[in-house]
Structure 1
């Protein structure tokens, strides 16, 4: 991927694991091959407390020069980085951002209020929260839907930043059906089907995920067609 992209866009490698040493080794390997940053998810399954989470991310950060984006996704990892832990980790030199998949606007606002300038908060893939999070100071989204409607999502953000709030909101509402459809089944099954529908065959998912059923695909394609 680093060779293919050839510096045209930054590459953020997912190097998180529920084993701290394994995360360190993956992050070092990613650094060696030339990625631009590391995305590190909260440890899953073993359910560390907040002190354990802090030490986990701090230990990985100590072993790399890469900028690190925290990935806070309690719906999949069970544990959640509390506001206070995110703020504390933001003080670590190369922890520079968080991908927030909590859907909790109050917590996100609290983080933004307490971190120093330069630490960024991104919506974590719940695409329908892109505009709401941006409106309270978020920097953008690590997006699923943008694979299909990237230009429109960029337009929505541009409208908001240009002060055209009503127009941005109207576009947000227009995009909602396709955002929802792309999460009708565990990701990334829907977006892979959508890309194939658009003549970009990126292959199927691997077990334990399964492709969309014919019925699900029909519903997804119907939404895409109505949008176009």
Structure 2
């Protein structure tokens, strides 16, 4: 699974009627590719997948695959809390030409670790696509343990995990317990550099919508041994990372995208958007834009 250093969990643009805006989606995809995104995740949490119908998810995936046109991998979010439905969605994504799938930990059901293992293994055995596991206990209510990820890494096409537990010790255990081909990605932008330092592969990011180049520069500096500059970039990016998650995702990032000229529209209920002026987000964005070049040359 060639996700690169930064996979962007793409927002879903909506028009004033609350329907998917495919023209803006095209603009957004090209913006992301031009600004440091190595792979694109469609129909994930940031894309407001809980509010998208199956028909909308399918049409959005078709559109994304067409616009990307093989420039970068397109990963489809096909996981749910229904194993059979996830299998069907995964098979459909494969038919449509996705390069891989992302499977979130089942939410609400609260399965134990044996149930999680069986869920992911069963889905993976029903597709030839590479699988990215997605652990986000804050939303799913269940943590996918390091031991279970290590077990699942032995399934042929389970290739990586997006770890959004915030637990670096758990991430380190996964890295130590899996072979070198298995990839561990941060699901938290603020943990990108710490995860790299313990052997992680990168980040499935939200902030990369507006700071992709800067995040790529941080990662590149780390890998080339310029750890001092990587740390400096991390510190500059931290206020932006915090701002992007200051309200339920993707509320802040949609606001910030509109501020930089990408009219991605509002969020769908039960999320609520931000007024036209938010001093905290505006100030954070402006400070980031003004200080980045000044502090890093």
Give the TM-score category using the shorter length.
over 0.9
Aligned to 2:183: 120
C-alpha distance in 2 between matches for 1:214 and 1:203: 12
Aligned to 2:135: 72
Query: How many residues were matched structurally?
Result: 226
Structure 1 residue 219: Cα displacement: 1.4
Residues 8-157 of structure 1: matches in 2 within 5 Å? 8-124=71-187, 126-157=188-219
Q: Which runs of 4+ in 1 moved over 3 A?
A: none
C-alpha distance in 1 between matches for 2:94 and 2:79: 13
C-alpha distance in 1 between matches for 2:270 and 2:71: 34
Structure 1 residue 165: Cα displacement: 0.8
Structure 1 residue 117: Cα displacement: 1.6
Structure 1 residue 227: Cα displacement: 1.3
C-alpha distance in 2 between matches for 1:204 and 1:117: 41
Q: Is structure 2 residue 266 aligned with structure 1 residue 204?
A: yes
* Contact 1:185-1:212 at 8 Å conserved across structures: no
Aligned to 1:168: 230
Compute the RMSD of aligned alpha carbons.
0.9
Unaligned runs of 5+ in 1: none
Structure 1 residue 214: Cα displacement: 4.9
C-alpha distance in 2 between matches for 1:174 and 1:65: 41
C-alpha distance in 2 between matches for 1:227 and 1:119: 34
Unaligned runs of 5+ in 2: 1-63, 290-297
C-alpha distance in 1 between matches for 2:92 and 2:264: 25
C-alpha distance in 1 between matches for 2:276 and 2:256: 13
Q: Which has the higher contact order (CA 8 A, sep 6+)?
A: 2
- 1:116 partner SS: coil
C-alpha distance in 1 between matches for 2:256 and 2:279: 11
Deviations, residues 102-139 of structure 1 (Å, cap 9, x unaligned): 11111111110110120000001x11100000110110
